[in-house]
Amino acid sequence: MQPAASVVIITFNSAEHVEACLRSLADPAWERIVVDNASADDTVARARGMGGTVVLANPENRGFAAAANQGIQAARGELVLLLNPDVAAERGALEALRAAVAPERIGAAGGRLLNPDGSTQAGFTARRLPTLATAVAEILLLNRFFPGNRWNRRYRCLDLDYERAAEIEQPPGACLLVKRRAWEAVGGFDEQFFPLWFEDVDFCRRLRASGWRIVYEPRARFRHAGGHSVARLSPRQRQLFWYCNLLRYFRKHHGRGAALALRGAIFAGMLLRLGATLVGGQPADASRRAYLQAYAQVVRHCVFGRGEAARNRMESGREVQA
């Protein structure tokens, strides 16, 4: 029987979360598809153990964008929900998202992402598309030290009433329902955003530019553990992938001039981070040396023009997933 809709979950070493995610999607009207990016743990076995789940096990890590395209091509539903494995749907969430995209020109919808304590993940559940000003504020640490600044408030939609449905610019790829014809109209995700970051931003920008609308539906509630993919990256990978793909996004949508300005901001931002790390201000998840090396590599590869080469070397090794 043709499913009413499909869920596509991209996994990589997601054994801790995948069963709870799939259990929360136990609606017979929804097809469940897991695309695994060469997990080294028992993610695939656990997913296959959940009855009624289609599992596509890739022999190598393809990254989030390519795996999402793969899953949507395999899906049979006219609506497809992309969901991270550390997200669990609450009662009624799937039907609320289906209802949200019923109008003709609505091409995609995002739900309300909740922390484990039930609070809304404000600043992540919905965002506006990045501008040069909002990107520079992020790079220069303004958003960390002055989170109430106008650029951060705009970018992270901190002025949004999360109790009310609204048209938005960019829900995260962690929970994104799309109409198949909208997906096909813009060609799906750009797989050059490997292995993660900005593929969902790029997709939403192209979707809106094609005349489709994107909405936020507060009744579609999903618990989101958060940090599942990022926690598996080293400081070097985390910094280099984020900045390389940020530059790619700005070259693609804002031109070389904006990308050049962004390189200058990245150089200044890395100097700030290098200085902070030298006095012990690095995050606690890795050593001072690891962060010094990470920031130095961002300067070398992203500021001085070798970002694509660095990313391609990482891509050839398929070191991480999206």
- Within 10 A of 188 (CB to CB), how many other CB atoms are there? 19
Q: Could you report the per-residue pLDDT of 82-134, keeping only the tens digit for each? A: 999 999 999 999 999 999 999 999 999 999 999 999 999 999 999 999 999 99
Mean pLDDT of 295-320: 66
* Residue 280 pLDDT level (bands cut at 50, 70, 90): confident
Residue 8 pLDDT greater than 50, yes or no: yes
Residue 308's pLDDT is 52
Specify the range with the lowest mean pLDDT, choosing from 57-61, 143-147, 303-307. Answer: 303-307
Which of 224, 258, 278 corresponds to the end of one domain?
224
Residue 312's pLDDT is 52
Decide the pairing of beta strands 79-83 and 5-11: parallel
Q: For residue 77, tell me if it sits in a domain.
A: yes
The answer on 272 and 217 residing in a single domain is no
The answer on 87 and 40 residing in a single domain is yes
The answer to whether residues 64 and 322 touch, using CB atoms and an 8 Å cutoff, is yes
Q: For residue 133, tell me if it sits in a domain.
A: no
Residue 230 pLDDT greater than 80, yes or no: no
CATH assignment of the domain containing 103: 3.90.550.10
The answer on 12 and 68 residing in a single domain is yes
The answer to whether residues 96 and 219 touch, using CB atoms and an 8 Å cutoff, is yes
Residue 316 pLDDT greater than 80, yes or no: no
Q: For residue 135, tell me if it sits in a domain.
A: no
Residue 310 pLDDT greater than 60, yes or no: no
The answer on 303 and 203 residing in a single domain is no
Residue range(s) defining the domain that contains residue 304: 233-317
| Cα 180 to the center of its chain, rounded Å | 19
Residue 145 pLDDT greater than 50, yes or no: yes
The answer on 237 and 201 residing in a single domain is no
Q: For residue 155, tell me if it sits in a domain.
A: no
**Region at 130 (left for phi over 0; alpha for psi -120 to 50; beta for the rest):** beta
Give the ranges where the chain is alpha helix by DSSP (H). 18-23, 43-48, 63-74, 93-100, 132-139, 142-145, 150-155, 180-186, 199-209, 235-278, 288-298, 307-317
Total of domains in the chain: 2
Q: Could you report the per-residue pLDDT of 55-86, keeping only the tens digit for each? A: 999 999 999 999 999 999 999 999 999 999 99
The answer to whether residues 120 and 112 touch, using CB atoms and an 8 Å cutoff, is yes
